């Protein structure tokens, strides 16, 4: 499996089955993190963490406070895609990290990034010889 990231007219393919997203909350100015898996059913949220609590960022059900972070495992179905669009209200975009490194997405208002599991071309036909 691979993660596809659509940015304007470009699609980046990242060979990974797991990635994290982190960002700073626009009001409380604290970090939020999510751990995701790329599966054949879509993108699956495995864990969410928030450094503190406050306006619009209450920890989820079953959250445990661990070293200043509220951590929990949401029980949500996989999603086909994640759309990340910057409002300009936060100091930066999202930081996406995987085994190969990290990159910033949505660091300017209006720059949408769409994350999805890459479609495998299972109907490809071998060229005849």
DSSP string, 21-37: EEEE-TTT--EEEEEEE
User: What pLDDT, on a 0 to 100 scale, did the predictor assign at position 126?
Assistant: 35
Q: pLDDT-based confidence at 121, cuts 50/70/90?
A: very low
Q: pLDDT-based confidence at 4, cuts 50/70/90?
A: very high
Are 38 and 19 within 8 A, CB to CB?
A: yes
Tell me, yes or no, if the pTM score tops 0.85. Answer: no
What is the arrangement of strands in the sheet containing 3-7, beginning at the earlier edge strand? 10-14, 3-7, 113-117, 81-84
Is a pLDDT exceeding 90 seen at residue 125? no
Tell which wins on pLDDT, 91 or 67: 67
Q: What pairing do the DSSP bridges indicate for beta strands 18-24 and 31-39? A: antiparallel
């Amino acid at each position: 499996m691979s993660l596809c990231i659509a940015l304007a007219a470009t699609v980046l393919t990242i060979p990974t089955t797991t990635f994290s997203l982190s960002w700073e909350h626009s009001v409380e100015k604290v970090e939020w993190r999510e751990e995701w898996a790329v599966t054949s059913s879509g993108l699956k949220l495995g864990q969410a963490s928030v450094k503190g609590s406050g306006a619009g960022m209450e920890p989820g059900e079953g959250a445990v406070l661990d070293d200043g972070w509220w951590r929990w495992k949401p029980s949500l179905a996989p999603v086909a895609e994640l759309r990340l669009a910057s409002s300009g209200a936060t100091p930066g975009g999202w930081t996406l990290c995987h085994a190969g490194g990290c990159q910033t997405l949505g660091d300017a208002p209006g720059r949408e990034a769409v994350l999805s599991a890459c479609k495998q071309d299972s109907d490809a036909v071998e060229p005849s010889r």
